[in-house]
Amino acid sequence: MPIKACVFDAYGTLFDVAAAARILAEQPGQDQLAAVWPKLAADWRLKQLQYTWLRAITGDHVPFWDVTCDGLDWAMEASGLDDPELREMLLALYWELPAYREVPEMLATLKARGYQTAILSNGSPDMLDGAVDFAGVRTWLDDVLSVESVGIFKPARVVYDMVGDRFDTTPGEVLFVSSNGWDAASAAAYGFHTVWVNRAGEPMDRLPAKPAHVLDDLTGIPALAGDL
């Protein structure tokens, strides 16, 4: 069954979530952040994700911006940073995350070959709009789907249902791409063709399903979609 829609996670997949800490650490006067920014960026992302999972389990849903702020607060404390101005600068930069270098050409190629394209993300609609517009990739996206429409974070199945509802596709007609191994595995269990973009060379998650394909970046997505 040929692929009709190529759907992407946003944060860490299309947009570089470590960029906020890295960019600010490179600015003059940020010596304290420069010494710890890799740890802060990793802790921030991990806590952001952990809080989405816990809230999905308990039913205590909040917009993704709330867990983003909470994750940063935990990460800053873990790195010994107590600086409200630094916190505000980091959060402001999160609205201006750059896309990975291969993203524009990859999306443009998919659209030129007739695929429907979309983002499916935990992100709040306003956050996603900011990221998409800052990266300049809206012209190659048919839609930007946020979990706010269903009120629960991934990997709840109702989130993946949004793709078929929007594009009138079966799971077997969708190629789903994520940099999160757990997300790609959950989407595989749902029935999507899946790609895990494993930029960091991490081990495979021990989950019931596994992503069918593992790539280092997004460059090979158009060719893969054509082969399925």
Contact 138, 132 (CB under 8 A): yes
Which residues are annotated as catalytic? 9
Decide: helix, strand or coil at residue 20: helix
- Rounded Cα distance, 60 and 169, in Å: 30
Residue 16 per-residue DSSP state: -
Which helix (H) or strand (E) element contains residue 153? none
Largest Cα separation within the chain, whole Å, is 55
Decide: helix, strand or coil at residue 99: strand
- Rounded Cα distance, 223 and 202, in Å: 24
Give the phi and the psi of residue 189 in degrees, each rounded to 5. Answer: -65, -30
